[in-house]
Chain A
Amino acid sequence: MSSEAEFGTPPGADTTPGDAPGSGHSTRRGLRTYLIGLGLAIVMTMASFWAAQTHLIYGPGVSVAIVVLAIAQMGIHLVFFLHITTAPDNANNVLALAFGILIACLVIFGSLWIMANLNHNMLPLQQMMDMQR
């Protein structure tokens, strides 16, 4: 049974997250993948720390730049460190990830939206206390 698993996976089989792309353990290829990922992650991190401290970027654009860089760096980590790709054998992992992202976005943006709406529609505290007198 276990010998079957050792002789390569049949085409169209699944991969597990964390598996290097392509079957077979090529250490050199794996090392290159991790090094590329590390390099890109370092560049992104330095860029976002730079963006937070520079005066060169138009003020309100800074937080947009930080968010975009963060999302890009998460993508780099997913591809180069967790080996989540769009290959057909990765479909299950990507679908699960997409569902997770959907729920996370609903929680975060839903909360922000509802709370901003509540703040907007609620009377200021002082005014409310005056009414209760």
Chain B
Amino acid sequence: MNTAAVSHAPENSEPTSADGPASRRIIVGYGFWIFLLSDIIMFSAFFAAYAVLNGATNGGPGPAQLFDTNSVAIETACLLASSFACGMASLAVAEQNQRWTQLSLLATGLLGAAFLGLELKEFSSLVGRGAGPTHSAFLSSFFTLVGCHGAHITAGLLWLGTMMAQFYAKGFRENIQHRFACFSLFWHALDIIWIAIFSLVYLNGTRV
């Protein structure tokens, strides 16, 4: 019985490569996934620098004196909600629903902008208190790590605006949907990096 089942292996046990190259959507998504992983590896180098230089405060203030957990909690909530809104946008794009696409992308963008505003406010208050990136190796690595994430968010917001304009002007064309799939991967990946930042930098630095 078993041998019969094996000899009549179904056709779908053939390797995927027998069907020819994968569709463009899959190739685009996979390529962008590789880029995201390389981006995460770049962030891991900044994390390593931060972890090594964590104690090098040059006699200045350390993490416990500088960070405000409440502000970080609001930033985290903004970014998580933004990531969820981006998921809603990808459902709307799959439904080809212009109004819901634009509305959820707008929510994604506004929440992302709120996150960025809070982060800039934190940075300016740190610099105002004399704890700018030039003060110590710890602060240099902190501003590099968190600022690099903020720069990614800024780039993501520009990309988001472009996607909204393209969906509005050109409709749900296939290549634009591919671009949007890449954008949503990018946005979710930035939220994953933020998890590492708020856990390892902020919470671990201010724990009681």
> Measuring CB to CB, which residues of chain A are less than 8 angstroms from any residue of chain B?
2, 4-5, 9-20, 25, 27, 30-31, 34, 37-38, 41-42, 45, 48-49, 51-55, 62-63, 66-67, 69-70, 73-74, 77-78, 81-82, 92-93, 96-97, 99-100, 103-105, 107-108, 110-112, 115
* Contact A15:B189 (CB < 8 A) given known A42-B80, A96-B37: no
In angstroms, Cα B48 to Cα A104, docked, is 9
B44 and A5: CB pair below 8 A?
A: no
Q: Encode contact with A along B36-59: 1 for CB under 8 Å, 0 otherwise.
A: 011011001101110110000000
Residues of A with C-beta under 8 A to B208: 52-55
Residues of chain B whose beta carbon lies under 8 Å from any beta carbon of chain A: 12-14, 16, 19, 22-23, 25-26, 28-30, 32-34, 37-38, 40-41, 44-45, 47-49, 51-52, 69, 73, 76-77, 80, 83-84, 87-88, 90-91, 94-95, 174, 181, 184-185, 188-189, 191-192, 195-196, 199-200, 203-204, 206-208
B30 touches A14 (CB 8 A): yes
The count of A-to-B residue pairs whose CB atoms sit within 8 angstroms is: 154
Report the minimal beta-carbon distance from A113 to chain B, rounded to whole angstroms: 10
Which of A15, A52, A103 counts the most B-chain CB atoms under 10 A from its CB?
A: A52
Partner of A19, one of B29, B52, B189, B191: B29
Q: In the complex, A48→B206 CA distance in Å? A: 12
The CA of A115 and the CA of B51, in the complex, are separated in Å by 10
The verdict on A97 contacting B37 (CB below 8 Å), with A16-B25, A18-B185 known, is yes
